[in-house]
């Protein structure tokens, strides 16, 4: 018995130890689980999705840099800000991010988010819409039958009306006048029937108008339902991906601030356009530097700051390198005649021969009202190392539809000298020409320019700063108060034959007179012939006080004429050529 009690005691003791161990293990496990949850809670990151607001765009000749900002709230630890409202044409490699607040920017990355829709909800709404469209189509068909019935009834009554009106008795074509009673009966019958017919037609017309209004309303409703069904069908399909920029921040405490980021979008740009305006009352030349801005970035630019840059970020920026140039003997091959039909050689002179002309001009003082302030008053030019950037301190709205928006970048008064030019060999007139100086300082790029004289459009020219000097010529028209003539001096013109050659002497006289009340500076131009034929010789050239360019044959006299002043300029030369040949002179 004692042995049995001892055994039972031992079993109970072991059971108590086992139970104690189990409780201790459970307690340890609970503590570990709590610590694990606490650790996971401490390392959990804060994720927020925000939509950015576009506030500035710098437009290049190709592409645009878009700058946006947004506010953020961050907690202690890791924070992830997901930004939407990004252009689909973003260049991810150009993303730049900065932030305010006590945070550290760990990372920024670009991604595409593909949204999903509830297909079941979509199918229920689609079924409901299709049922409504079917019922509406049935109603439209019924209304169509009703209108057809009304139109046919109106046609029957109109035909009956025509029969009554065209009846011989009514038109006095029968023997009605022989019986007064018969005449009365016809009149009463005609009046009764016509009134009934007119009343029926009137009632049917009212029914027709009412039916047409109802049909029109049903068709409009049908159109709205079909449009809604179309949109619902599009939303049922997979939507276009949404571009996102995800920014990872880490903070030591709860804080807030502002994130500013920028990136390059290729679907934008601008082209230059110039307006050259001359005001005769002021004697000044102004140039309006305009930019035609266009964009299809997928974002509408609303109330943004706009900058215009002459830079092209997509142009090659790598300096060319020269590699060793090895030469050796070439193997024989057939010679090819290469011709470039597009290349033309122009002799550049000081003559504004291709300038646009105006029919007249005048200089007089007038009282002019103050003009409205232009956008260029808000433009600041920033000179960069390789480009110029115009910052416009005005809000602009440019929709993402590719349309061109005209932006006034700069308005400049050009440093201008006014001179008179004359080429009496071609035109016995004197032209006033504006020489616009220091064009190269305006940061222009090649483009066409519209020319206006006293507000009237007179033509266009092309400005190419890469191939011109710093002066642009603009012809303002003829001045009738300066007279010029060119005559052949017969007494000095001789022709004689010596051996197998003919010697021909030619002499000309140019006379110019200033009939104005002011002093004028005039440039007179003429020419002597030149030749590349060795059998033809041109010598004994005398141009007086003029300057001769031997390579081109151009003669130029510069003179200042006082009021009522008159001057004469003579020049002559000799030509020798074969007597059995003709020359084009």
pLDDT(284) > 50: yes
Residue among 117, 118, 113 nearest 51 (CA): 113
Q: Taking residues 207-218, report their average pLDDT.
A: 89
Q: Taking residues 214-227, report their average pLDDT.
A: 88
Min mean pLDDT across 163-167, 319-323, 388-392, 459-463 is at 163-167
Q: Which pLDDT belongs to residue 382? A: 54
pLDDT(519) > 60: yes
| 341-379 burial: b if 16+ Cβ within 10 Å, else e | eeeeeeeeeebbeebbbbeebeeeeeeeeeeeeebbeeb
Segment (H or E) for 153: helix 119-165
Kindly state whether residue 232 falls inside one of the protein's structural domains: yes
Q: What is the distance, to the nearest Å, from the Cα of residue 435 to the centroid of all Cα atoms in its chain?
A: 31
pLDDT(294) > 90: yes
Domain boundary, last residue among 216, 236, 256? 236
pTM of this structure: 0.55
Confidence of residue 5 (pLDDT cuts 50, 70, 90): low
Q: Which pLDDT belongs to residue 4? A: 47
Q: Which pLDDT belongs to residue 467? A: 67
Q: Taking residues 479-504, report their average pLDDT.
A: 90
The 10s digit of each residue's pLDDT in 6-51 is 554 555 556 566 556 565 655 545 544 444 444 434 456 788 999 9
- Which is higher by pLDDT, 213 or 348? 213
Q: Residue 276, exposed/middle/buried by CB under 10 A (0-12, 13-18, 19+)?
A: buried
Kindly state whether residue 350 falls inside one of the protein's structural domains: no
Strand partners, 408: 290
| Dist CA 95 CA 265 (whole Å) | 10
Residue 323 carries which DSSP code? P
The 10s digit of each residue's pLDDT in 319-362 is 888 888 888 776 655 444 444 444 333 333 333 443 333 333 33
How far is CA 398 from each of CA 86, 490, 534, rounded to the nearest angstrom? Answer: 16, 70, 66
- Report the number of distinct structural domains present in the chain: 5
Segment (H or E) for 563: none
Six-digit token pair at 25?
């293990």
Q: Are strands 53-59 and 255-265 parallel, antiparallel or unpaired?
A: unpaired
Residue among 270, 272, 268, 276 nearest 443 (CA): 272
Same domain flag for 294 and 209: no
Kindly state whether residue 334 falls inside one of the protein's structural domains: no
Q: Which pLDDT belongs to residue 425? A: 93
| Dist CA 561 CA 484 (whole Å) | 12
Collapse the DSSP code of 140 into the 3-class scheme (helix H, G, I; strand E, B; otherwise coil) and give the result: helix
Same domain flag for 396 and 441: yes
Q: Are 561 and 520 in contact (CB under 8 A)?
A: yes
Same domain flag for 512 and 394: no
How many CB atoms within 10 Å of residue 445? 16
High-pLDDT (> 70) share of the chain, % = 77
Six-digit token pair at 146?
């009703």
Same domain flag for 522 and 551: yes
Q: Which pLDDT belongs to residue 301? A: 94
Q: Are 163 and 235 in contact (CB under 8 A)?
A: no
Q: Taking residues 222-232, report their average pLDDT.
A: 83
Q: Residue 468, exposed/middle/buried by CB under 10 A (0-12, 13-18, 19+)?
A: middle
Same domain flag for 19 and 64: no
Q: Are 506 and 526 in contact (CB under 8 A)?
A: no
Residue 324 carries which DSSP code? P
Kindly state whether residue 189 falls inside one of the protein's structural domains: yes
Q: Taking residues 95-109, report their average pLDDT.
A: 92
Collapse the DSSP code of 53 into the 3-class scheme (helix H, G, I; strand E, B; otherwise coil) and give the result: strand
Domain boundary, last residue among 478, 506, 525? 478
Q: Which pLDDT belongs to residue 183? A: 72
The domain that contains 202 carries what CATH number?
1.10.287
Q: Are 168 and 174 in contact (CB under 8 A)?
A: yes
pLDDT(443) > 80: no
Q: Which of 278-282, 332-336, 344-348, 448-452 has the highest mean pLDDT?
A: 448-452
The 10s digit of each residue's pLDDT in 356-385 is 333 333 333 344 444 555 555 555 555 554
Kindly state whether residue 344 falls inside one of the protein's structural domains: no
Q: Which pLDDT belongs to residue 134? A: 87
Confidence of residue 83 (pLDDT cuts 50, 70, 90): very high
Give the mean pLDDT of the chain: 79
Same domain flag for 434 and 289: yes
Q: Are 64 and 253 in contact (CB under 8 A)?
A: no
Q: Are 488 and 508 in contact (CB under 8 A)?
A: yes
Q: Which pLDDT belongs to residue 348? A: 32
What residues make up the domain containing 216? Answer: 119-236
Kindly state whether residue 584 falls inside one of the protein's structural domains: no
Strand partners, 168: none
Same domain flag for 19 and 168: no
Q: Which pLDDT belongs to residue 190? A: 78
Confidence of residue 475 (pLDDT cuts 50, 70, 90): confident
Same domain flag for 386 and 400: yes
Q: Are 484 and 428 in contact (CB under 8 A)?
A: yes
Q: Which pLDDT belongs to residue 197? A: 85
Q: Which pLDDT belongs to residue 24? A: 60
| 413-441 burial: b if 16+ Cβ within 10 Å, else e | ebebeebbbbbbeeeebbbbbbbbeebee
Same domain flag for 540 and 497: yes
Q: Taking residues 257-262, report their average pLDDT.
A: 94
| 116-137 burial: b if 16+ Cβ within 10 Å, else e | eeeeeeeeebeeebeeebeebe
Same domain flag for 486 and 564: yes
Domain boundary, last residue among 438, 459, 478? 478
Angle, in degrees to the nearest 10, between helices 180-236 and 119-165 = 170
Q: Which pLDDT belongs to residue 158? A: 86
The domain that contains 535 carries what CATH number?
2.60.40
Q: Which pLDDT belongs to residue 446? A: 83
pLDDT(483) > 50: yes
Collapse the DSSP code of 187 into the 3-class scheme (helix H, G, I; strand E, B; otherwise coil) and give the result: helix
Residue among 565, 527, 520 nearest 546 (CA): 527
**Token match 């023997």: residue?**
175
pLDDT(524) > 80: yes
How far is CA 527 from each of CA 180, 518, 546, 548, rounded to the nearest angstrom? Answer: 111, 29, 11, 8
Q: Which pLDDT belongs to residue 156? A: 86
Same domain flag for 295 and 420: yes
Same domain flag for 124 and 223: yes
Q: Taking residues 567-575, report their average pLDDT.
A: 93
| Dist CA 555 CA 526 (whole Å) | 5
Kindly state whether residue 363 falls inside one of the protein's structural domains: no
Kindly state whether residue 523 falls inside one of the protein's structural domains: yes
pLDDT(569) > 90: yes
């Amino acid at each position: 018995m004692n042995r049995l009690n001892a055994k039972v005691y031992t079993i109970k003791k072991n059971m108590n130890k086992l139970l104690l161990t189990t409780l201790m293990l459970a307690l340890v496990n609970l503590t570990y689980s709590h610590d694990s949850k606490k650790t996971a809670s401490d390392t959990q990151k804060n994720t927020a999705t925000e939509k950015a607001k576009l506030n500035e765009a710098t437009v290049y000749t190709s592409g645009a840099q878009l700058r946006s900002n947004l506010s953020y709230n961050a907690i202690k630890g890791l924070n992830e800000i997901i930004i939407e409202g990004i252009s689909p044409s973003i260049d991810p490699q150009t993303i730049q991010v900065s932030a305010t607040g006590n945070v550290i920017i760990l990372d920024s990355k670009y991604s595409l988010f593909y949204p999903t829709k509830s297909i079941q909800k979509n199918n229920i709404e689609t079924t409901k819409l299709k049922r409504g469209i079917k019922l509406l189509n049935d109603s439209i068909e019924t209304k169509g039958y009703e209108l057809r019935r009304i139109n046919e009834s109106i046609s029957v009554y109109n035909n009956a009306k025509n029969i009554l009106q065209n009846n011989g008795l009514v038109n006095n074509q029968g023997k009605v006048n022989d019986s007064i009673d018969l005449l009365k009966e016809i009149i009463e019958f005609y009046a009764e029937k016509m009134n009934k017919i007119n009343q029926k037609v009137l009632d049917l017309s009212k029914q027709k108008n009412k039916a047409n209004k109802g049909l029109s309303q049903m068709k409009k409703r049908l159109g709205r339902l079909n449009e809604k069904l179309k949109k619902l069908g599009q939303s049922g399909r997979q939507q276009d991906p949404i571009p996102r920029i995800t920014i990872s921040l880490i903070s030591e405490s709860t804080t807030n601030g502002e994130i500013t980021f920028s990136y390059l979008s290729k679907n934008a740009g601008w082209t230059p356009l110039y307006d050259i305006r001359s005001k005769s009352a002021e004697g000044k030349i102004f140039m309006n530097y305009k930019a035609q801005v266009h964009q299809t970035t997928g974002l509408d630019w609303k109330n943004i700051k706009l900058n215009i840059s002459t830079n092209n970020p997509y142009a090659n920026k790598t300096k060319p390198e020269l590699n060793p140039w090895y030469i050796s003997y070439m193997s024989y091959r057939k010679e090819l005649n290469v011709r470039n039909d597009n290349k033309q050689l122009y002799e550049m002179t000081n003559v504004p021969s291709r300038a646009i002309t105006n029919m007249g001009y005048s200089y007089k003082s007038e009282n002019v009202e103050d003009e409205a302030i232009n956008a260029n008053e808000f433009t600041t030019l920033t000179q960069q190392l390789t480009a110029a950037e115009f910052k416009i301190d005005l809000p602009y709205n440019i929709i993402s539809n590719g349309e061109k928006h005209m932006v006034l970048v700069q308005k400049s008064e050009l440093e201008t000298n006014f001179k008179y030019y004359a080429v009496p060999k071609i035109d016995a007139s004197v032209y006033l020409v504006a020489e616009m100086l220091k064009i190269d300082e305006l940061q222009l790029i090649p483009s066409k320019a519209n020319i206006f004289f006293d507000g009237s459009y007179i033509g266009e020219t092309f400005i190419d700063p890469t191939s011109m000097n710093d002066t642009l010529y603009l012809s303002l028209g003829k001045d009738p108060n300066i007279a010029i003539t060119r005559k052949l001096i017969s007494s000095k013109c001789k022709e004689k034959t010596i051996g197998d050659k003919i010697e021909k002497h030619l002499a000309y006289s140019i006379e110019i007179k200033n009939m104005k009340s002011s002093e004028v500076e005039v440039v007179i131009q003429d020419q002597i012939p030149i030749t590349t034929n060795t059998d033809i010789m041109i010598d004994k050239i005398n141009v007086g006080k003029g300057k001769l360019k031997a390579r081109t044959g151009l003669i130029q006299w510069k003179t200042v004429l006082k009021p009522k002043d008159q001057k004469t300029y003579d020049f002559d030369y000799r030509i020798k050529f074969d007597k059995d040949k003709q020359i084009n002179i």
